[in-house]
Structure 1
Amino acid sequence: MNQRDRLISPPLNFSNENKVILSFEHAYAQRYNQIDSLIILVSDNCGTSWSRVFAMGPDGNGIFETAPKTDLEFIPTSADDWCGVGWGADCIQLDLSAWAGKANCRIAFEAFNKLGNNLYIDNVVVSRSGVGITQLHNKTVTVSPNPSNGIFYITTPYLNQQKAEVYSIDGRLLFSKDFNSNNLIINLSSYPAGIYTLKIIANQQNYQIKLIKK
């Protein structure tokens, strides 16, 4: 009850920027009538002090929730369970331009738990009007089919050394492979249905995409 957990970014350098935008995807369903909340804070001194820039919780009608109220533990199992797709809330985008021109910035996602339900955060992007500064994006990596029964065909724009990793929703590394072509097949047939995270490391960039196994 009243537990607070923080996910804090590494230091971010906005010293050469004049505009900074934070966007991310979230998934959440209210449990009973408990009011959990998400709080976002920003620091310009590497975490010594913080400024709150966002706070929101459920209202029962989908202002923050991405799935209907439930009495059960919430685990997103399809794309419709996430913001901006099915029932409920749109995805959140925040203007952090007040921190443009500053170095040693950090962003914190704080979950305030009132004995409610799980809150999921994914695909965090910090950008300048859509052009990435420090970002995880999937514009040049494709996955087909997705959702899939377990076999995913990955296409990347690179032919040099790359690495693919797949993580479970609780952060366990399930698959890791080095490859040097622009095609890769990932087999998750032996794993249960759910959402997994694919991470492609190439050309000093990270690409993250949700894999949905039916």
Structure 2
Amino acid sequence: TNVYGTNLNGNYADNTKSYLVSECFDLTTVTSPTLEFDMAFELEQDWDIVYIEYSIDQGVSWNLLGSATDANWYNSGLTSGENNTCYNCPGGQWTGFNSTMTHYTYDLSAFGSTTNFMYRFVFHSDQVVNEEGAIIDNPIISGSPLSTDSFIDETFKVYPNPSTGIFNLKTNSSQPISISVLDITGKEIFNKQNLNISDSTYKINLNNYYSGVYILNIQTSTTRTIKKLIVK
């Protein structure tokens, strides 16, 4: 099994700040989005830390995600310099020892209208004393596909649906359209811009993707239509 780690061969370095950065997610396509991952850590107590930040502007600015009062989240709420310790602490972080691989979750419903959500793990060590560090596995944003029943629009037809991987998109719209397909985690897997397919058919090829539910976004200059695609 592959994992992400501060150092897979020995202790981490002193005076280090490093990041594990996610891709960009569109959270408008799922309900109850939740950040999930597994982590174990051995860190110098109250001095070396791991925490998570988020961005909603494609990584231009970052903010701390959550607090120590949230369920199943940080084990420390120390702020920088509190009790003359943890000068790197932002006010919510993991520190100390938990060598058991533990499953963590954080409800992202507050960001449900965000189309450019990113997160990153931050590791920060001080100048002296080091331990084995942290390992992280299975990071994912989970959720349920957004119901599209209220978005039915006969201007756009998709068939066959379900399909084994090839979907035909037909429209009587004379406007150029842009289409994108997202998987259940909000990751964009297909994108085509400014297509002119009035009274013709465009093939969407998902043959290389797993069976499951995907979200098709169809955008014109004046409308947005969402349809559910099912790959058998």
Provide the TM-score with structure 1 as the length reference.
Answer: 0.45
Q: Normalising by the residue count of structure 2, what TM-score does the alignment of the two structures yield? A: 0.42
